[in-house]
Structure 1
Amino acid sequence: MKKDNKPLGPSQRMLRVGELVRHALADIFARGDIEDEALVGSVVTVPEVRMTPDLKLANAYVMPLGGVHAEEIVAALNRHSKFIRGRVAPKINMKYAPDIRFFVDDTFEEAGRIDELLRSDRVKRDLEDDGGDEE
């Protein structure tokens, strides 16, 4: 807890609602309910949905399979966000359905960058130097 008694991370309710929205979105994408040229033949995954504390806004992070045309797909999803919200609403059983914004999920890219750094010669050299000091 911080000094002002506010939690540092998302509340359990925010996490639970985010997971409900994530499952609803995955179901909608799997069934192909959205008709848009940019989405034809694309398999879209939803690794994470982050809710605002008031539960009125859902930030959905999506990634097409293989990462191909990610920006175009996110733009298409944002164009159809009101339609998607209407499809999500009955699935999550809440008084108000959140507005949904879509973003490209870059966690895989970031993980790849970190992995590349960890495998670099500089880090290997540092690890080898540390191993000799412990004797």
Structure 2
Amino acid sequence: MSGEKLTSQRQLRVGELVRHALSAFLSRDEILDPDLDGAFITVPEVRMTRDLKIAKVYIMPLGGQKVDVVVDALNRNQKFIRGQVVPTLKLKFAPEFRFFEDETFGEAGRIDQLLRSDHVAQDLRPDEDENDPEDQ
């Protein structure tokens, strides 16, 4: 086995619990910060550390607009967010939230663009020689 640490079921379960609670809180638009006014934020993933004390929250504003500004604003307001969300979680420890840009949207778009490129498309077209009866 490589030196890679596996994520436990408990980490996954708590991460999903935190993700749902954060999504519900962010949808209520209760943070008084001009950088977050009117920002619709999705929370595709939350990764918990092994000790469950830090939640790495991956976010993406709708349409990918002002990602850096939104991430900075959320990190600036993380103590307020933590105070509003943690009591609903009923966890032994109150995790600290750290917000990051979810880069999977951009990566999916990049892969889609590659698959649509002429170079890849030519490899996906059926080869005319494959159906030639003389080759059989």
Q: For this structure pair, what is the TM-score category when the shorter chain's length is used for normalisation? A: 0.7 to 0.9
Question: Aligned to 1:63, what secondary structure does the other structure show?
Answer: strand
Cα distance between partner residues in 2 of 1:117 and 1:72: 29
CA contact (8 A) 1:47 1:105 kept: yes
Aligned pair partner of 1:93 in 90, 102, 105: 90
- TM-score, normalised relative to structure 1: 0.88
> What is the 5 A alignment of 1:96-111?
96-111=93-108
Please identify the structure whose Cα radius of gyration is greater.
Answer: 2
> What is the 5 A alignment of 1:1-80?
2=1, 9-80=6-77
Specify whether residues 27 and 133 from structure 1 end up closer, same or farther in structure 2 by C-alpha distance, changes over 3 A only: same
Specify whether residues 60 and 124 from structure 1 end up closer, same or farther in structure 2 by C-alpha distance, changes over 3 A only: same
Unaligned stretches of 5+ residues in structure 2: none
Specify whether residues 116 and 25 from structure 1 end up closer, same or farther in structure 2 by C-alpha distance, changes over 3 A only: same
Specify whether residues 43 and 54 from structure 1 end up closer, same or farther in structure 2 by C-alpha distance, changes over 3 A only: same
Aligned residues: 132
Deviating beyond 6 angstroms after TM superposition, the runs of 4 or more aligned structure 1 residues are none
In the TM superposition, residue 70 of structure 1 has moved relative to its aligned partner by: 1.0
Question: Aligned to 2:56, what secondary structure does the other structure show?
Answer: strand
Between the two proteins, what is the percent identity of the paired residues?
A: 55
Question: Alignment RMSD, CA only?
Answer: 2.1
Specify whether residues 127 and 109 from structure 1 end up closer, same or farther in structure 2 by C-alpha distance, changes over 3 A only: same
